[in-house]
Structure formats: structure tokens, C-alpha cells
Copies of this chain bind each other. A is one copy, B any other.
Amino acid sequence: MKSNLDLVDECDNFPPSLPASRKHEYDYGLLTDGPDSDTVLGYVHPKVMRVLNTPSVVISSYRVAPQSRSVAINGDTETERSANVAAVVRLWWEEGWFEVLDGWRDELYPVYHPRTRELLFSVERAASALFGVVTYGVHMTVFTSTPTGEMMIWVPRRAKTKQTYPGLLDNSVAGGISTGEGVFKSLVREAREEASLPEALVREKAVAVGAVTYMHVRDERAGGETGLLQPECEYVFDLELDGGDATPRPGDEEVEAFNLMSVPEVQAALGRGEFKPNCALVLLDFFVRHGVLTSENERDYDEIVARLHRNLRL
């Protein structure tokens, strides 16, 4: 039986933050926003650093620092940098350098400057973990009350055919945010596509309630290479349904079925490791915000609350 802190440890499983000058101790290279910059955009897996150091036709697309400790994408504008990183990852895909690219999505993820929030470039979604850049998503917990006042949560099970985490339990609505798509717009789209929830309902009743952030080192369940670092920021929403509202039902092939589970049932499934790891964190945050977990019934409360909100300044 996993404790709640175990669930946090399993998802937020990269060692505590270090100042940039000491990041090398963990062997990852650094993706920076320029050859002499100490602004870190991502942690680059050692295997990726080795491939970046291998002469190829795309070697002019980026610059590796002398001790091979950091890499920067060349280009003076967002367009140039996006084209350069695209050339690199497309070659890797075509030549079959990385398993993780077998899950090619043809979907661009944004890479922002950590301080100014400027869009520096976009990168193919499947390649984001190769550079260890922060990715963004939306997660919404859809819940309701029984006539006797018991809280019930709508929980989907991921299709057995999904590339990543097949068959595990998921959050009511969850998905990634592509370049150029607004946060709330992304939520509305995911709610419609995956849970068949009408746009008007989401616009009327979904409430923005925070963000859950963590640094996850990928294991075999995510597909592709293990050890890739994936810092993620999930914008979190609550949607409380009344009796008369529509209820979630599968809208595409990604979800097998939705079930209404009580809080103790969700907690038991969490303890058995049945939820996708990052969904566990979003549910723990939900339990913290709704008084299910408190400082008096959860021994590790202080640490859990802090760890659900890791500072992703790399």
C-alpha cells in the first residue's frame, strides 16, 4: 500500500533543485537560451548530449559548449530556433536514434524563457523529454455529491491501447497544451474530446484552482528511453456537477470508461498504484483543497503540500 508521500515521491522523483552551477552533478546536460547564458531551459539526458556531440548534417542548428555541458539552439528569432530544433529532432526521428520519438505526435510544445515568459521556440511534443524542457497541461477533477452529501469523483480508465500508461486510472479531464493554445481553451477542447462535456458547461462551472508542478524522471511506463527528465506544470481546475448537468462519457478512443468513485474508493485505488503517477498528484491537491487531507490526518502533510508545487525554475 503506497502512502500519499510515496505517490508524490514516485512522480516528483528528480533530486531537489540545485543551483545551475551544480546541475552537472546529476549528469544531465543543460539546455540554455544562448551559448554563454546561465538561463536553463531544460535538462538534457546524457545520451542526447552524446548524440548532439556526434557530427551530423544538423550540427549547425545548435552549439554545444566546450566541455559538452550545455547546448543552445541557434537562431536569432523564435522562427529560426524552432526550425533549427525541428531539423534536429526530425533527423533523429528519421534515423531512429531515440525510442521516445516512435511516439511522434506532430504537435508542437512551447519553450518559454523562465523569467520573461517569452516564447523562445517550439519543439515536437515527443521530443520535449529529450531536452527536459517544462511541458504544460490542464487537469480537471469533475465531481458531484450524492443526495446524502457524499462527494463522488468521475474517474476514467485509460484505454489499453494508449502509448503511455495503458489501462491506468486517469483524471476526469487531462491533456497537454500546444504552442499557441490558451490554457482555458485547451481545457474546453479536452473536456469535449475526452469526456464529451459541453463547452457551455465547462465555461460556466469550471474553476481555476491552481497548478501542480513536479519534476518527473520517466520510467518504462511512459514508453521510450528511461531516465529522461520531464518537468511539468499542470494547471488545475475543479468542476462540480449538479444533478441536472451532463456527465462525462468517453468521447474518443483514449478513454475506456468513466466511473463514479467515492473519496475512499479513489484513495484505495491510489494506494494500490492504479492511477497514472501525475494524476495521483492532482488528486492529492484536490484532497488538500477540499479538506479531505489535513495536517491532522496526514503525517506528511507539510511535505506533500510543498512538493505538489515544485519550483520549476531549472
Answer yes or no: A211 CB below 8 A from chain B CBs: yes
Cβ contacts under 8 Å, A313 to chain B? 16, 303
Q: Is A65 an interface residue (CB 8 A)?
A: no
Give the distance in Å from the alpha carbon of A214 to the alpha carbon of B308 in the complex. Answer: 15
Most buried by B among A213, A288, A305, A307: A305
Which among A81-89, A144-152, A290-298 touches the partner chain? A290-298
Task: Let me know if A299 is at the binding interface, CB within 8 A.
Answer: yes
Confirm or deny: A131 has a beta carbon within 8 angstroms of a beta carbon on chain B.
no
CA distance A213 to B208 in the complex (A): 21
Determine the distance from Cα of A302 to Cα of B22 in the docked complex, in whole angstroms.
24
Task: Tell me which residues across on chain B come within 8 A of A229, comparing CB atoms.
Answer: none
Q: Which residue of B lies closest to A138 (CB)?
A: B295
Report whether B312 and A309 are in contact in the complex, using a CB–CB cutoff of 8 Å.
no
The answer to the question of A1 belonging to the interface, with a C-beta cut-off of 8 Å to chain B, is: no
Cα of A298 to Cα of B71 in the assembled complex, Å: 31
B288 to A213, Cβ gap below 8 A? no
- Taken together as a complex, chains A and B put the C-alpha atoms of A184 and B233 apart, in Å, by 31
The reply to whether A183 and B294 contact each other, CB–CB distance below 8 Å, is: yes
- Of the A-B pairs whose beta carbons lie under 8 Å apart in the complex, a sample of 14, sorted by A's number, is A16-B313, A17-B17, A208-B288, A209-B288, A211-B295, A211-B302, A211-B306, A213-B302, A233-B302, A235-B295, A289-B289, A302-B312, A306-B311, A309-B309
Contact B17 A301 (CB under 8 A): no
Interface size counted on chain A using CB atoms at 8 A: 38
A201 within 8 A of B: no
- Using a CB–CB cutoff of 8 Å, the interface residues on chain A facing chain B are 16-19, 22, 117, 182-184, 207-211, 213, 233, 235, 288-291, 293-296, 299, 301-303, 305-313
B184 pairs with A296, CB closer than 8 A = yes
- In this complex, what residue of B is CB-closest to A310? B306
Contact A117-B299, Cβ < 8 Å, known A183-B294, A306-B309: yes
A209: contacting residue among B184, B289, B306, CB under 8 A = B289
Q: Please state if A311 and B307 are interface contacts (CB–CB under 8 Å).
A: yes
**A290, B309: Cα distance in complex, Å:** 17
A303 CB to nearest B CB, Å: 7
B289, A182: Cβ atoms closer than 8 Å: no
Residues in B with CB closer than 8 Å to A296 are: 182-184
Contact of A305 among B117, B182, B213, B289 (CB under 8 A): B213
Closest residue of chain B to A237, judged by CB? B291
Query: Contacts of A22 on B, CB cut-off 8 Å?
Result: 19
CB-CB nearest in chain B for A207: B291
Query: Once bound together, how far apart are the Cα atoms of A22 and B17, in whole Å?
Result: 13
Contact A294 B208 (CB under 8 A): yes
> When the two chains form the complex, which single residue of B16, B183, B294, B310 contacts A295, counting CB atoms closer than 8 Å?
B183
Cross-chain contact of A16 among B17, B208, B299 (Cβ < 8 A): B17
